[in-house]
Structure 1
Amino acid sequence: MPHNADPRAQQSAMHALYSDNHHWLYTWIRKRLDNQFDAADLTQDTFLRIHSRQDVEQITEPRAYIVTVAKGIISHFYRRQSLEDKYLEYLSLFPEPVTRSQEQQQIILQTLEQIDALLNELPPHVKSVFLLSQIEGKKYQAIADDMNLSLISVKRYMKQAYVQCLSLMEDDFFE
């Protein structure tokens, strides 16, 4: 919220935006998710995001703006759900059930989200090389053969991916 905005005017504008659009947005999201509980959560998340990042009085097209924010939140929700599904699928591969506390699971999912975001910043071919090496356990020469690349290119792409990973680790370490 801008520093020069009148807090009462902001609060009043946010209240009006929320009361005028909450039900409409909930219905819009529910049609896309087909789950009332997630729709309710994502509706609230949308308004919280708007409240925390926007001078509400400056919004000229409220529903267009709300939908834009909601689409980003829904996209994040699906990405996180996909990561969670893959993590649970991975856990199911172990012969004995691996039990983790809720806190451990949340930390792992949060880390996976950060890694996913980091990998999405890489060029597609670099990301593919990195995933083939780290997830599928392929050797560099096999990756080079599979992707019709030179061995030196695979090594260069892996270095690029590792540098990106190190930057994430440094960012987290120094926060």
Structure 2
Amino acid sequence: MIGRCIVDKIEGTVAGALYVDHHSWLFGWLRKRTGNREQAADLAHDTFLRILLKSEPVSIDEPRSYLTVIAKGLLANQWRRHEIERAYLDRLATIPESFAPSPEDRALILESLLEIDAALSQLPDKARTTFLLAQLDHLGYAEIALKLGISLRTVKRYMVLAFEQCLLKLE
């Protein structure tokens, strides 16, 4: 049903031809990797949606390679989201039920965690590590500098960069 809606919207376009020619292949490729028909269908749909929403027309020489790159990115994002959700739920399981947030608050907290993760994923690895060591491990800047083998000035620069990235996500 959803697939038919996409074809109706993009029929006669590059994305439409791509969909008609390669959807079943991409769906099979994703089904092998996920082991789940519904998840594979959703990811295939999202892959073509990404192409459709591109602001500039796309010239595609290797359609399956192109689709694979997009689908791998979506799959990685999904796995990352599941990992964050699992870690959050594991942490919630360790606190007394009387202190547990409501289901609505849980959803808001999880969404915030995912937004923070998305913001931090835009940072260079060392900047992200610096920020996480300060925020999660409560290390001081001097300890972080020593641990990562970088200068105190670099730690400060990385922290500013990370906070800026988080603030941009809030806007």
- TM-score higher than 0.5: yes
Q: Which moved more, 1:77-86 or 1:91-100?
A: 91-100
Find the aligned partners of 1:21 and 1:156 in 2 and give their Cα distance.
46
Shift of 1:24: 1.2
Find the aligned partners of 1:21 and 1:118 in 2 and give their Cα distance.
32
Residues 133, 143 of structure 1: 8 Å contact kept: yes
Paired AA for residue 33 in structure 2: R
Find the aligned partners of 1:19 and 1:106 in 2 and give their Cα distance.
37
Find the aligned partners of 1:141 and 1:24 in 2 and give their Cα distance.
53
Alignment pair present for 1:161 and 2:159: no
Give the direction of change, closer, same or farther, for the CA distance of 1:113–1:9 in structure 2 (3 Å limit). closer
Shift of 1:133: 1.2
- Alignment match, 1:112: 113
- Alignment match, 1:67: 68
Find the aligned partners of 2:168 and 2:16 in 1 and give their Cα distance.
40
Shift of 1:73: 1.2
Residues 18, 47 of structure 1: 8 Å contact kept: yes
1:116-173, CA deviations, whole angstroms, 9 ceiling, x for partnerless residues?
222222232222221111112223343334334454443343233223323333xx2x
- Alignment match, 2:102: 100
Find the aligned partners of 1:56 and 1:122 in 2 and give their Cα distance.
28
- Alignment match, 1:12: 12
TM-score, structure 1 as length reference: 0.73
Aligned residue for 1:72, secondary structure, equals: helix
- Alignment match, 2:132: 131
Shift of 1:10: 4.5
Residues 10, 55 of structure 1: 8 Å contact kept: no
Shift of 1:42: 0.7
Structure 1 unaligned residues grouped into runs of 5+:
1-7
Paired AA for residue 117 in structure 2: D
Q: Following superposition of structure 1 onto structure 2, how do residues 19-34 of structure 1 map, counting pairs within 5 Å?
A: 19-34=20-35
Q: Which moved more, 1:9-18 or 1:137-146?
A: 9-18
Aligned residue for 1:12, secondary structure, equals: coil
Residues 10, 56 of structure 1: 8 Å contact kept: no
TM-score, structure 2 as length reference: 0.75
Find the aligned partners of 1:57 and 1:128 in 2 and give their Cα distance.
35
Aligned residue for 1:109, secondary structure, equals: helix
Give the direction of change, closer, same or farther, for the CA distance of 1:54–1:46 in structure 2 (3 Å limit). farther
Paired AA for residue 20 in structure 2: S
Structure 2 unaligned residues grouped into runs of 5+:
1-7
Paired AA for residue 50 in structure 2: R
Shift of 1:55: 7.2
Residues 10, 57 of structure 1: 8 Å contact kept: no
Give the direction of change, closer, same or farther, for the CA distance of 1:100–1:12 in structure 2 (3 Å limit). farther
Find the aligned partners of 1:130 and 1:87 in 2 and give their Cα distance.
19
**Alignment RMSD, CA only?**
3.0
Alignment pair present for 1:85 and 2:98: no
